[in-house]
Chains A and B, each alone.
Chain A
């Protein structure tokens, strides 16, 4: 019986370590950045697909998916403004996607024993990707 009890405690803990959602979320932001790198734009349709995929892992509203565009000035990112869906970017422009989940991550809940009243102690699912457009319109 001792074995059974030990397995009941250990296996879920290890499963939690293995099946974290964070890496899937980062993969999605990377793929979106890649699409913009080679096509210069993200359409409304692509955006809704991305949002649907993200919501499988955690809750993401429109306000939680931030899209920005900017330009490189002597190699440094400048003039970052909000990106409007469907805008065609030129070659050399910068594109940034930043996402942060509405809910606190499972790991954080485990660590703090639930959602902490002090929000600085809470961890969210976050990911960021940035690329430079290569497509010539």
Chain B
């Protein structure tokens, strides 16, 4: 007697069709599959929408803060110390270049800080004491040899000078590392990044008020994220007609 054995291999599609039908058949009558699939679909959609809403809230708050900082630095830069800056405006114009000289113009630290924090509070309601741990304030004043800078964070204070405006960014970033432990200079999110390269230097030889806010916490709908802001304004000095 000869026994014939044969193995039939089902096509993958056929396997799927059969198993699918079996699964549905076994659940037939209860309708549970439909309910579970429906619920999981709803849950996914709900999670997606909630995370969109969460991020929308965060980004809106972040944009409001960044605009507020812009108005605040523009207010602060106008607080020029008139007694200290007597020599600057008196020099007038550069005779060879025809440009207005701004050397020797310095900002009044206390009143420019007051102007910054009061404008900031008016625009997005953050009080000075609530943000002081996250904030680094840099005031820059030009002189004949280059630019002097004062960097302040809370009670810490550091003064220095650079010979040209393009050296200002690395000088600030080195201090950022000193003042904040764990700062990674390779990451853009931890440093002031204003210049593209030497030719596109954003800093000119004018007085500056620069603010660097790091790791400021912004609450979304349920997540808490941190953001970094850099805002700076250069003095726009004109002579009255």
Contacts and interface: CB of A to CB of B under 8 A. Distances in A.
Interface string B101-121: 000000010111111101100
B163 interface: no
A77 B118 contact: yes
Contacts of A66: none
Interface stretch (B73-81, B91-99, B133-141, B198-206): B73-81
B38 A2 contact: yes
A12 to B, nearest CB: 11
Contact of A14 (B39, B53, B71, B236): B53
Contact of B56 (A18, A33, A91): A18
User: Chain A contact residues: over half helix, strand or loop, or mixed?
Assistant: mixed
Contact of A131 (B39, B64, B74): B74
A75 B110 contact: yes
B41 A74 contact: no
Nearest to A33: B71
B131 interface: no
Interface string A121-137: 00000001111101010
B74 A132 contact: yes
Interface string B31-74: 00001001101100110011011001000100010010001001
B38 A75 contact: no
A129 B121 CA distance: 10
A72 B46 contact: no
Interface residue range, chain B: 35 or more
Interface stretch (A3-11, A39-47, A100-108): A3-11
Interface in B203-241: 221, 236, 238, 240
Contacts of B221: 17
Contact of B114 (A26, A33, A37, A76): A76
Interface in A53-103: 72, 74-77, 91-92, 94, 96
Given A75-B118, A92-B78, A132-B71, 10 more contacts: A6-B42, A10-B42, A14-B50, A18-B49, A37-B74, A74-B114, A77-B122, A131-B75, A131-B119, A134-B78
Interface of B: 35, 38-39, 41-42, 45-46, 49-50, 52-53, 56, 60, 64, 67, 71, 74-76, 78-79, 108, 110-116, 118-119, 122-123, 221, 236, 238, 240
18 contacts: A10-B42, A14-B49, A17-B53, A18-B52, A30-B67, A33-B71, A72-B78, A75-B76, A75-B110, A75-B112, A75-B113, A75-B115, A75-B118, A76-B115, A91-B78, A131-B74, A132-B78, A134-B236
Which 7 interchain pairs have the tightest Cβ spacing? A75-B114, A75-B111, A132-B75, A75-B115, A130-B122, A3-B38, A74-B111
